[in-house]
Amino acid sequence: MTDQANPIVSVVIPCFNQGKYIFESVLSAKLAYVGPVEIIIVNDGSTEFGISRTLKRVREFVADERCSVRIVDQLNQGLPAARNAGIATAKGEFVQLLDADDLLTAGKIDEQIRHFGISLSLDVSISDCLFSNDALDQFEHHANLVAGFDFSVENFALHWERGFSIPIHCALFRRTIFDRIRFNERVRAKEDWIFWVHLVVDGFRLAYLGSKSAIYRVHNQSICRSLSSVGKEWIKAAVEIEAMVGERCPGFMDAAVAWYVKTYSGSAESEIRKTPNESGRELVEPIVADDAGSRALPTLLAFPELKTSPRISIVVPIFNHYDYLCDCLNSLAIQEANQIEIILVDDASTDSRVKTLLAGIPKDDATIRVLHNSENVGIAETQNRAVERARGEYIAFLDCDDRLPAHALTRALAFIVLICSMAWWQAI
């Protein structure tokens, strides 16, 4: 075969404390291509004992006349920066990105080089993938994860993670695209989402190749980050993408926040004591008070006990309005925001049913506190007294004859993160 048929391919492998996987990853990259390949391992400030020696042994074992292995050492800067560092030193006509714990199948790059040979205007060839366990003895294919969507701006913006996803090592890239686009280093996760959107917005041509040639290894370390921290990165990424697609996808930010609410802000939901309904879904039992107000508060008592300071303190001043109070309290109970406290302040209600209802709340409940004014002082003073007792990072006020819609607090927190992120980026 001619040199034109076998161009140089650069394989960039960021590595942070993944010495147990790196040999398999590097060897799979070598076996994925019959042509000349340079493998660039970016040691992103690993603290793992013996990692430098491990990387040197990998280089000595794998390197030969066809395959060179280089090690780039840097202080820990995160995955996006490590990829960019490797790309900056790449000399190949094509670039293959590969995380240190993932694998390529034999001949993967060969197939994609032929794909480029057939479609001369192609910028990115995308294969399908398999998911494996840590031991590589169980494999699963998620149908239509890649193939079920066309590579449009709308799909990358509105359906990413929501049925559609492309592991980065499924792709083989022309080197020239990285002259215009690099990975966003302002985020610590969700960098792939930003990158793919940027590609399609800039008009690069992507095409699908159906072979299952990339292996994504699922293990504990790959999912160890907390939902809350990853959720913040999702919002940060959404801010970046909004700047690229806002006019083209006017509902983008609403959809991104809705996914944040559903996926990243409900960590407390699994801790709530619930009862199943006929459809199999789990619902919290609502408050249904009788005319005497003698029913206790099973919904509010279902909140998990607070073990840390709450994110939100919800202040509810109460003066009578018994007919609305149960709906108000139920609307608080269905909120999915983690770490909330509820401060109910009875401003000397004259309706005995209100006092009976509030008396049903145990005095040792750490999530709900009931305060009583000895005399009626009005809503302003009642709210001020509650704020003095609040422990939350944020304060939310709710009148006892009003109610909150579902997800109100998680949506509010999402927008706070979003606005703070925008302000921070404008300041730098």
Output the six-digit token pair for 15. 């590595």
Q: What local confidence, expressed as pLDDT, does residue 285 receive?
A: 43
Residue 326 · residue 289 · CB < 8 Å: yes
Task: Give the single-character DSSP code of 160.
Answer: B
Residue 421 · residue 253 · CB < 8 Å: no
At the topology level, CATH places domain 9-226 in: Spore Coat Polysaccharide Biosynthesis Protein SpsA; Chain A (3.90.550)
272-414 is classed in which CATH architecture? Alpha-Beta Complex (3.90)
Output the six-digit token pair for 3. 């040199």
Report the SS3 class of residue 143.
Answer: coil
Residue 139 · residue 206 · CB < 8 Å: no
Render pLDDT for 223-280 as a digit per residue (tens, 0 to 9): 445 677 788 899 999 999 999 998 899 889 989 988 988 888 654 333 323 333 333 3
Torsion angle of the four alpha carbons 417, 419, 421, 424, in this order, in degrees rounded to the nearest 10: -140
* CATH 3.90.550.10, the chain: domain bounds: 9-226, 272-414
* Beta strands 206-217; 103-104: pairing state: antiparallel
List, edge to edge, every strand of the sheet that includes 312-318.
368-372, 340-346, 312-318, 394-397
Render pLDDT for 27-67 as a digit per residue (tens, 0 to 9): 999 999 999 999 999 999 999 999 999 999 999 999 999 99
Across 272-311, where does the E strand assignment appear? 275-276, 282-283
Output the six-digit token pair for 231. 């959720």
Q: Rounded to whole angstroms, what are the CA distances from 349 to 118, 353, 357, 401?
A: 79, 9, 12, 14
d(CA 323, CA 343): 19
